[in-house]
């Protein structure tokens, strides 16, 4: 069993390498692939330097499972070609809403892996952490509607925006003029209620991803509305979620369900510091749930706060978990 990573030099590619380094998945060889610009560089993996290969000349038949971590345009051009010779796990948005492509979070809908045709899609980072918390609640009480506001770290936009957050912060503190290159407005000491392109109805593509992907993964009948905000945090997405059920619920049972939710951990002490923040979640595989409470305006609804490392469970970790499921079946 061999693995390959397309986009090995990027944020998600490098995180995938880090996770595979610690993984117990049995595989023989790892091939690292990227653009011509990165080809020839070396990355350390399990006490060995692996040279990055050029995507344009790489032979996809060398690996049984290939992780795509290089964005939608690369996925659009290369994944269908790769899928003729290897199983593709794609982290971009390109295949997510294609009917024949499974959109998978292993703790939620691993059964969909039975239906793949050599391309499997990884959900949007914000969708992923939310459905982890929603799935067991939906199984028990059937969710009618979800209202979510996200507070998304700059790492979700790539390495250049991460670097710009630091440079903008320095310029702000030095009273220098700030010029935004990767953001529509200043991000340092600010919030930007805009992620991805706007559609004709005023929603952004990021907000529509959360709506459409949640429906595809969980249930087409769930109503979802989202507001996605970029915040001056390096890593870790946070979400304020209001969940309305079809019927009345037992609050103590809600807590019990969330404490047993796969991939999640409840930290909710109802005191100063008795909750999770993105800084604490960085580098952690767990999706954290805090601030669980009844909605005082709706007897069938609850509120909660969900935080996860967007580069791990929100991207690289989930793809490796998908691969782990596949290896067990191969």
Q: Which residues are catalytic?
A: 125, 237
CA distance 230 to 194: 7
Contact call for residues 208 and 202 (beta carbons, < 8 A)? no
Question: What element of type H or E holds 244?
Answer: strand 237-245
d(CA 211, CA 213): 6
In angstroms, what CA-CA distances link 256 with 78, 224, 265? 44, 24, 11
Query: Is the CB of residue 232 less than 8 Å from the CB of residue 189?
Result: yes
The burial class, CB within 10 Å (0-12 / 13-18 / 19+), for 42 is: exposed
Helices (H), the chain: 11-22, 72-82, 106-109, 125-141, 159-173, 205-217, 251-259, 278-281, 317-329
The DSSP code sequence of 73-88 is HHHHHHHHHHTTTSEE
Instruction: Check: CB of residue 100 under 8 Å from CB of residue 116.
Output: no
What b/e readout covers 87-106, taking b as 16+ CB neighbours within 10 angstroms?
A: bbbbbbbbbbeeeebbbbbb
- Sign of the C-alpha dihedral computed for residues 25, 133, 226 and 168 taken in this order: negative
Sign of CA dihedral 306, 309, 312, 315: positive
CB proximity list for 166: less than 8 A, separation 6 or greater = none
Residue of 244, 239, 250, 285 whose CA lies nearest to 265 = 285
């Amino acid at each position: 069993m061999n693995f390959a990573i397309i986009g090995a030099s990027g944020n998600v590619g490098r995180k995938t390498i880090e996770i595979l380094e610690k993984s117990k998945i049995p595989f023989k060889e790892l091939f690292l692939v990227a653009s011509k610009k990165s080809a020839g560089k070396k990355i350390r993996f399990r006490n060995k330097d692996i040279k990055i290969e050029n995507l344009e000349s790489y032979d996809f038949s060398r690996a049984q499972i290939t992780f795509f971590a290089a964005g939608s345009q690369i996925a659009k051009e290369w994944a269908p070609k790769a899928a003729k010779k290897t199983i593709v796990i794609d982290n971009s948005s390109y295949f997510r809403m294609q009917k024949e492509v499974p959109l998978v979070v292993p703790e939620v809908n691993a059964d969909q892996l039975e239906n793949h045709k050599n391309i499997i899609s990884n959900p949007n980072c914000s969708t992923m952490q939310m459905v982890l918390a929603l799935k067991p609640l939906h199984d028990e009480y059937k969710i009618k509607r979800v209202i979510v506001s996200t507070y998304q770290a700059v790492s979700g936009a790539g390495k250049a925006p991460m670097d710009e957050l630091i440079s903008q912060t320095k310029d702000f503190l030095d009273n220098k003029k700030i010029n935004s290159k990767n953001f529509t407005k200043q991000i340092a000491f600010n919030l930007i209620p805009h992620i991805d392109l706007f559609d004709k109805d005023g929603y952004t593509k990021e907000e529509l991803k959360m709506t459409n992907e949640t429906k595809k993964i969980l249930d087409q009948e769930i109503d979802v509305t989202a507001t996605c905000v970029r915040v001056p945090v390096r890593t870790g997405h946070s979400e304020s979620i209001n969940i309305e059920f079809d019927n009345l619920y037992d609050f103590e049972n809600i807590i019990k369900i969330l404490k047993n939710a796969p991939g999640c951990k409840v930290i909710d002490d109802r005191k100063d510091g008795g909750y999770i923040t993105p800084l604490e979640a960085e580098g952690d595989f767990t999706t954290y749930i805090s601030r669980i409470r009844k909605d005082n305006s709706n007897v069938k609804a609850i509120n909660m706060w969900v935080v996860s490392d967007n580069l791990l469970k929100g991207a690289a970790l989930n793809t490796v978990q998908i691969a782990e499921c596949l290896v067990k079946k191969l």
